[in-house]
Structure 1
Amino acid sequence: MQTDDVAAGGRRERKKRETRQALAAAALRLAVEKGPDNVTVEEISEAADVSVRTFFNYFPHKEHAILGRDPEDLERALTRLRETPAEYSPLTTMRLLITRTLAEFEDEQGDRARQVGLIFESPALLSQFVLLGAEDERALSAELAERMGAPPGAIAPALIVSTVIAAIRVSAEKLKQAGPELAGRTLSSLVDEGFLMLAHGLDPDYDPHALSRIDQEGQS
């Protein structure tokens, strides 16, 4: 009986994954065809052959479906972060963590690339993308802080995670606007360049005392 229960549970989980994937695939296909702002939950549900009620069991609104939001993605990322060998530095750990994500973005025929294209078409989609990114950033920062043994309120873990995300975003934007100077470059190569800059310091000549000196000069 116990074996049957486990098997039934496995089938239910598989069915849930299949339904979520079907809804996300339908949402993305319809968004590409009609534009993300012109797609309705009813159309997505019909295309996936489920009820509207079932749709809302998986996604709170159509933007999450178009973005293919799956809570398990974040959990898998957090697990990979925890399982990265302890000898790797925080920045090295983050670079290893985003390897799969970069590969997905570089696949021009893949879902990630199409989702990125749609984000810039729809303010609503962009807004949800930013909100979801902020949620993921907080979770990753907390996990990295624990890994680093950082004290409560430490800036370093959150700053590392946010600058890594910024490095990906800036690299993607530069590649999208690429001129001849970036011919042959890939997203990964630009991100790696950004990581080296972060590792070596963006501005070694930064003077933390400059502001106070300027204030003193203004008062004299």
Structure 2
Amino acid sequence: MNDDEPGLRERKKRETRLALSLATIRLSIEKGWDAVTVEDIAAAVGVSDRTFRNYFGGKAEAVASRHLDRMYEIGRLLSTRPADEPLWAAITTAVLHGFELGEGDSQVNWPGDTRWAEGVGEILSQPAVRGAVLEADALAQRELAAAVAARIGTDPERDIYPKLVAAVVGSACAVATEHSRSAHPPEPLAAALRAALNQVAAGLPVPNAGS
């Protein structure tokens, strides 16, 4: 394959984008949000500061892109599930597989000493990051709604259901991630995601007292 082929160039761009996003998260946890510069992040990935700025407007956008890319991947994975698979079973599988693509990403597998989980909490508390994540959520929900609509054969512009499903899935992922991170000790994210989506699929029944 030739380096000039569009497919290879696009793959390299995606890899660079992901590397910059993960480096932003890792360095911010290790050094503290305010102490990390764009220059630090670019150097960690082996690219120029200009390359970083070609991908992201700043650190907050770089952090949010990890979330956005993962949610886009969940929408793509949903479109590949068997047509006869129930919708919520397909969504759950797509979500779990989408988060597995972050293998090696410690946002997914919290270290046992909780330092990493606490560091992610500090990053997510930054106003700029919260704003960037909200923007990413809006983009991701549109993509996921389109994937849901295509699966069930409806129009996402006219039918509220795909939008509602996308919003609920996004919220369930956010709640499960926060629960996984803040639990003591941190809980495996896959278990939290599965539990959250199973409860949503069941209609959020009220649990038995004391259970």
Paired residue secondary structure (2:47): coil
Aligned to 1:210: none
Distance 1:77 1:172, change over 3 A: closer
1:158 corresponds to which of 160, 163, 166:
163
- Unaligned stretches of 5+ residues in structure 1: 205-220
2:123/2:129 contact within 8 Å kept:
yes
1:192 corresponds to which of 191, 194, 199:
194
What does 1:120-159 align with in structure 2 at a 5 Å threshold?
120-151=124-155, 152-159=157-164
Aligned to 1:38: 35
Letter in 2 for 1:162: A
Q: Which moved more, 1:32-41 or 1:85-94?
A: 32-41
Identical-residue share of aligned pairs (%): 33
Letter in 1 for 2:34: D
Paired residue secondary structure (1:98): helix
CA distance in 2, matches of 1:176, 1:73: 17
Aligned to 1:107: 109
1:170 corresponds to which of 161, 169, 175:
175
- Structure 1 residues 23-43: Cα deviation after superposition (integer angstroms, max 9, x where no partner): 334323321233223323233
Aligned CA RMSD, in angstroms, stands at 3.5
Q: TM-score, normalized by length of structure 1? A: 0.69
1:23/1:48 contact within 8 Å kept:
yes
Letter in 2 for 1:44: I
CA distance in 2, matches of 1:54, 1:48: 10
Tell me if 1:201 matches 2:203.
yes
Aligned to 1:214: none
Q: Which moved more, 1:148-157 or 1:190-199?
A: 190-199
Q: Which moved more, 1:29-38 or 1:90-99?
A: 29-38
- Structure 1 residues 15-56: Cα deviation after superposition (integer angstroms, max 9, x where no partner): 534543443343233212332233232332344343322222
Letter in 2 for 1:145: A
Bigger relative CO (Cα 8 Å, ≥ 6 apart): 2
Aligned to 1:89: 86
Distance 1:115 1:168, change over 3 A: farther
- Structure 1 residues 90-121: Cα deviation after superposition (integer angstroms, max 9, x where no partner): 21221011113444554124xx9688434334
Letter in 2 for 1:120: L
Q: TM-score, normalized by length of structure 2? A: 0.71
- Unaligned stretches of 5+ residues in structure 2: 207-211
CA distance in 1, matches of 2:140, 2:170: 10
Aligned to 1:26: 23
Q: Which has the higher helix share?
A: 1
- Matched length: 196
Paired residue secondary structure (2:141): helix
CA distance in 1, matches of 2:3, 2:29: 37
Distance 1:174 1:184, change over 3 A: closer
What does 1:49-60 align with in structure 2 at a 5 Å threshold?
49-60=46-57
2:172/2:197 contact within 8 Å kept:
yes
